[in-house]
Structure 1
Amino acid sequence: MSKRKGVSAEEKRKRLLEIFREKQEFFQLKELEKIAPKEKGIIAQSVKDVLQSLVDDGLVDSEKELEKIAPKEKGIIAQSVKDVLQSLVDDGLVDSEKVGTSVYFWSYSNKSTTTKQRKLNNLSTKLEECKRLLQETKDSIAVAEIGRESTEERTRLLQVWAEKKSQEEDLKLKLQHYETANPERYLAMQEQTKVSKEAINRWTDNIFNMKSWCRNRFSIEESILNKQFEIDPDMDYLE
């Protein structure tokens, strides 16, 4: 028996949107979670996410969305949106009697067209802005090119500049090569050598003291200690 094929996310969006378009009503989330499984085969657990994706894409409106849109586009303060919406319902101008303290969702047949028109307007505005910036850039280039017209003298000077630039790079490489003979670097290495030498002699002294203590404490011959701890018998202080 073949497994039942699941419904894709896009198909769920399409089916849920059909509920709004067919019924032309307002719905609470809990209502959609009951209707969608029965009428459109969308499992209740996925309704919330599918609905939110439709709201995010502007295909479904919600009371919360109105509280965001109304102040920006119509100058209506967000706190008054719910009361205004209720008054429209009371006057029969909005087809719903369900507006209250809960969040409601709706979408009418022309919503898709309106959304697309809004996106088109936004894109048109951005396009005009890009055209303006492009023209400004062209104007700036034109101004920058004044006095930089291609002439024999300019070409000659650019060639001279390129040669000097190449010489500069060569000199930098030579300078890096001579860096090994830098007096400051030599003095730093000399100081580091002194510190390292002192450290070596300090640890050499520690080893001699340890060997002496072992000989006196355990009566172990030095040759055995050297062999046991892999100590060079010729080890000595650095001069």
Structure 2
Amino acid sequence: MSKRKGVSADEKRTRLLELFREKQEFFQLKELEKIAPKEKGITVQSVKDVLQSLVDDDLVDSEKIGTSIYYWSYPNKSVNAKRRRTEGLAARLREGLHGLEEARAETQRAREGREPTEERAALLGEWAEVRARHEAAVRRLQEHDVDNPERFLAMRSQTQVAKEAVNRWTDNIFTMKSWCKNKFAIEESVLDTQFEIDPEMDYVD
């Protein structure tokens, strides 16, 4: 035996709206919870949610009088709601079209004076060349930025390391010259000439 198919949310909305249109009366929630299950097959538990969805969509009116809330909907309610919705969409469409026209006009204004002429192409080429020269000058300036404290300290540190290395190798050369001179009895000037050593070579202060 097949199970009974439940009523969809849209069908419940349609049925409850039909109830209002057929009765054309004012109802409280408790009254609808009694009538809707019997006449329209809507479960008691779902009446409140279905009713609220119709109110939210402006298909059912509601008004609080004292401590009670009354609900009603007349046949022309749906027509009026659809008309208002259509008018709202039409207004949004007009606004969108107006914005589109403004954007097109702004684009056209931005294009004025930028037509692809030979003069404009020449000016753009000149601008690109000047910009390239400027960027190259900036790079050279950065390379020689001795006024930068951090760069100055780094250069001073590198200079000290280089000076120590020069003096170390100078000391090694002097040591080797002295050893050769004593070992083989060779004049220092001969060693300088043979090994292309600058006679004026000395330690760096």
Q: TM-score range by the shorter chain?
A: 0.5 to 0.7
Aligned to 1:151: 117
1:121 match: 87
1:52-91 to 2 correspondence within 5 Å? 52-63=52-63
Superposition RMSD on alpha carbons, in Å?
3.5
Q: Map 1:121-200 onto structure 2 (within 5 A).
A: 121-155=87-121
Deviation at 1:26, TM superposition (A): 1.0
CA-CA distance at 1:106 after TM superposition: 0.9
Q: Which whole-Å CA distance do the structure 1 matches of 2:51 and 2:104 have between them? A: 46
Larger relative contact order, structure 1 or 2 (CA cutoff 8 Å, min sep 6): 1
Q: TM-score, normalised by structure 2?
A: 0.59
- 2 CA distance for matches of 1:38 and 1:145? 70
Q: Which residue of the partner structure matches residue 19 of structure 2? A: 19
| 1:22-61, Cα deviation, whole Å (9 max, x unpaired) | 0011111111100011111111010010111111111111
TM-score normalized by structure 1?
0.51
Give the partner amino acid of 1:31: E
- Tell me, in whole angstroms, the C-alpha distance in 2 between the residues paired with 1:12 and 1:124: 30
- TM superposition shift of 1:142: 1.9
How many equivalent residue pairs?
149
Q: Work out whether 1:104 is the aligned partner of 2:70.
A: yes
Q: Give the 3 Å change call, closer, same or farther, for CA 148–39 of structure 1 in structure 2.
A: same
Q: Using the alignment, how far apart are the partners of 2:93 and 2:70 within structure 1?
A: 35
Q: Take 2:19 and 2:67, find their aligned partners in 1: how far apart are those partners? A: 23
How far the C-alpha of 1:154 sits from its partner, in A, is: 2.9
1:67 is matched with which residue?
A: none
Measure how far apart 1:136 and its partner are.
Answer: 1.6
Change (3 A) 1:164 1:27: farther
Find the residue that maps to 1:63 and give its secondary structure. Answer: strand
Task: Give the drift of 1:157.
Answer: 5.0
1:110 and 1:121 mapped to 2: Cα distance?
16
1:121-144 residue CA offsets vs partner (Å, 9 max, x unmatched): 111211221222122212212221
1:169-225 Cα distance to aligned partner (Å, 9 max, x none): xxxxxxxxxxxxxxx69x99xxxxxxxxxxxxxxxxxxxxxxxxxxxxxxxxxxxxx
Q: What is the distance in 2 between the residues matched to 1:13 and 1:166?
A: 70
What residue in structure 2 maps to residue 4 of structure 1? 4
Match of 2:47 in 1: 47
CA distance in 1, matches of 2:132, 2:51: 64
Deviation at 1:167, TM superposition (A): 11
Question: Cα offset for 1:3?
Answer: 1.3
SS of match in other structure, 1:26: coil
The one-character-per-residue Cα deviations of 1:42-85 (angstroms, maximum 9, x if unpaired) are 11010010111111111111116xxxxxxxxxxxxxxxxxxxxx
- Residues 28-43 of structure 1: pairs in structure 2 closer than 5 A: 28-43=28-43
User: C-alpha separation between the residues in 2 aligned to 1:153 and 1:57?
Assistant: 62
Q: Which runs of 5+ in 1 are unaligned?
A: 65-98, 169-183, 189-239
Higher Rg = 2
1:164 CA drift (Å): 9.1
